[in-house]
Amino acid sequence: MTATVDVLTNGYAEERVACTVTLIRDGDVIIVVDPGMVADRRLILDPMADLGVAPGDVTDVVFSHHHPDHTLNAALFPDARFHDHWAIYSGDRWEDRDADGFHLSPSVRLMRTPGHTAEDITTLADTDTGLIAATHLWWNADGPAEDPLATDGQKLLANRERLLALRPSLVIPGHGNPFTPT
């Protein structure tokens, strides 16, 4: 079994900011990655409904990092477990764990990828078309080559190389359309 990945909304970072929001399904596990800022919550909810997924169906939410543009709409998924770089949160429970290598399902795992922030993680999904990475190592297909807001530019570049060594078939960046890495 492999995961299916759908981009619910493509983000942007220009005069206004919206993050790319991704839906990953792997068996009974339904994951939303980065339910952050969008112009209207319907830009998240309508594509989900078109795919037959209700907010209450979402089992897990992953934050690539804790900037509001990636977390703002987390409350849309009240029954989900929430994942970040160091823990899982569910209701009033806080379970410490390192994200690196943590499996949300048989085909979906997390990878520590600091650089944009010290706490960045990437969500990796094995699919029929290859490995797909939802990450903030890139804002969009054009980079930027040097992230102007990176807390550690050297780590960011090293983690880009580390991710690319896994040969992903598709990268879903933090604020843009998915792209095939070259």
**pLDDT exceeds 90 at position 182:** no
Exposure string of 152-177, with b = 16+ CB inside 10 Å and e = fewer, is beebbbebbeebeeeebebbbbbbbe
CA-based end-to-end distance of the chain: 27
- Decide if 140 contacts 175 (C-beta within 8 A): yes
- CA–CA separation, 48 and 42 (whole Å): 9
pLDDT of residue 79: 96
* The overall pTM is greater than 0.85: yes
Amino acid 127: pLDDT: 98
Predicted confidence (pLDDT) per residue in 18-68, tens digit: 999 999 999 999 999 999 999 999 999 999 999 999 999 999 999 999 999
Instruction: Give the DSSP letter string of 60-125.
Output: EEE-SS--HHHHTTGGG-TT-EEE-SSEEEETTEEEE---TT-EEETTEEEEE--SSSTT-EEEEE
Rounded CA separation 139/129 (Å): 23
Q: Specify the CATH architecture of the domain 4-172.
A: 4-Layer Sandwich (3.60)
Q: Are 1 and 27 in contact (CB under 8 A)?
A: yes
Indicate the domain borders of the chain: 4-172
Kind of pairing between the strands at 29-33 and 81-83? unpaired
